[in-house]
Amino acid sequence: MKKIFFTSTLFLLLFSCNRNQSENPPLIENAIDNTESSIKGSFESGRDDNMIDKIYSELIKNDKKLSALDNKILKTYEASRKALQNFEHILYKSESYYREANYHSKSITDSLLKHQIENQIKKSSEQYESKTKNIRNIISLLNKNNEKISNLYTAFKIRKTLPEIEKYQSAHPLKTDSLTQFINKQNKLLEELKILK
């Protein structure tokens, strides 16, 4: 009998909560519909991964200057990647060769021959390092500039999207009425359960 009473009470509580939800549509949906934010579409998605990029991409759709800036930066990254690709490939091949040569030279058992080969490898490696020092400095500078561009653009995107998340927050005030009502129902159920024997 107690189990039946408990089950029916729980069922009634759940049923009344579901009925109240259908009568009062969630505040969030109403706020999204009424928000004045130009990027409300990025908030309607169920997933919240990379909100900054989602919001920023919505801003870009409505702003030709932002779109042009974004394209310029993307093209710069792509051109930089292509420019570096060839040089880095050649440098990597040479570095790999010298690593392998040093590794293989260790297997030479004739100590005099081993010493001669190690010296030749070292001399060739140092000459190559000297010859490519300038290009390595240029590559390093290019990578540093890419990093600076990335940092500044990330900061810019955050600054541009902060007002949008603030609009979203204003359009979605976190009112506790529904939660308080639910806690009251829980408390009533707890009181009923306490007097069960």
Predicted pLDDT at 30: 30
Q: What total of structural domains would you count in the chain?
A: 1
Predicted pLDDT at 1: 45
Predicted pLDDT at 134: 95
CA distance 127 to 117: 15
Cβ atoms within 10 Å, residue 34: 9
DSSP assignment, residue 62?
A: T
Instruction: For residue 155, give its domain range.
Output: 2-194
pLDDT tens digits along 17-69? 444 444 443 333 332 233 345 455 555 555 556 899 999 999 999 899 999 99
Predicted pLDDT at 86: 86
CA distance 178 to 72: 48
CA distance 139 to 149: 15
- Residue 3 identity: K
pTM (two decimals):
0.61
Residue 161, exposed/middle/buried by CB under 10 A (0-12, 13-18, 19+)? Answer: buried
The ranges of the chain with pLDDT < 50 are: 1-36, 38
Residue in 153, 167, 196, 172 with CA at minimum distance from that of residue 1? 196
Predicted pLDDT at 194: 87
